[in-house]
Structure 1
Amino acid sequence: MTKNTIFIFVTILLSLATFFWPVWLCLVLVNAITFTLFALDKGLAIKGGRRIPERWLLIYSLFFGWLGGLIAQQLFRHKTHKQPFKSLFYLTILLDCIAVILYLSRGALLH
């Protein structure tokens, strides 16, 4: 994902935020926390300190924090090649997209 793609995606999200600001505020907070966790984990990896468990990175990513995690991965070059983390991380993105599609369809896709 290029920086331009991320910029366009974030711009679209922020423009939609004016309509649903309480939801977007929660999304911004969870993405900021996820970004911070990835950044802290990278710093701990460099220093050789006790690391943040991968399950916590994945849990925060699953709760719609994956954009913050994705930006942190690219910015800090952290956990971009490690398997199975990479596959599980992309699975959180897929599951969140499915959840949003089901929510927006109001269950019509399930009938």
Structure 2
Amino acid sequence: MTKNTILIFVTILLSLAACFCPAWLSLVLVNAMTFIMFALDKGLAIKGERRIPERWLLVYSLFFGWLGGLIAQHLFRHKTRKQPFKSLFYLTILLDCIAVILYLSRGALLH
């Protein structure tokens, strides 16, 4: 099995587990998966091997995994200067914050 196959398998298992967990545990799992994906991508970049597509890093960041991605970016110094990835990554944070505000306001901000 290649590393990418293992990564896909683990990602699917953790995604399924997150669907049946309490919200806080789902957040922990999504952030852990995002952190691991950034770490693996950095390792693959160093070795010059095939990388994890940026769209997957952004998708996991969009589904509230941005904190794990942000920590991994700063810890591994990975994807901190690359544009447009950096702008899209910060857009995922903004969209998640807007979603939380709308959820907590229960639509009161839309009236």
Q: TM-score range by the shorter chain?
A: 0.7 to 0.9
Q: In the alignment, what sits opposite 1:8?
A: none
Q: In the alignment, what sits opposite 1:39?
A: 39
State yes or no: 1:76 paired with 2:80.
Answer: no
> After superposition, where does 1:1-111 map in structure 2 within 5 Å?
22-111=22-111
Tell me by how many angstroms 1:52 deviates. Answer: 0.1
Gap regions ≥5 residues in structure 1? 1-20
Question: Normalised by the size of structure 2, how large is the TM-score?
Answer: 0.81
RMSD across aligned positions (CA): 0.9
Gap regions ≥5 residues in structure 2? 1-20
Distance in 2 between residues matched to 1:42 and 1:70, nearest whole Å: 13
Letter in 2 for 1:86: K
Question: Normalised by the size of structure 1, how large is the TM-score?
Answer: 0.81
Tell me by how many angstroms 1:22 deviates. Answer: 1.2
Structure 1 runs (4+) greater than 3 angstroms displaced:
none
Tell me by how many angstroms 1:90 deviates. Answer: 0.1
Distance in 2 between residues matched to 1:100 and 1:53, nearest whole Å: 27
SS at match of 2:35: helix
Distance in 2 between residues matched to 1:49 and 1:32, nearest whole Å: 23
Distance in 2 between residues matched to 1:49 and 1:31, nearest whole Å: 24
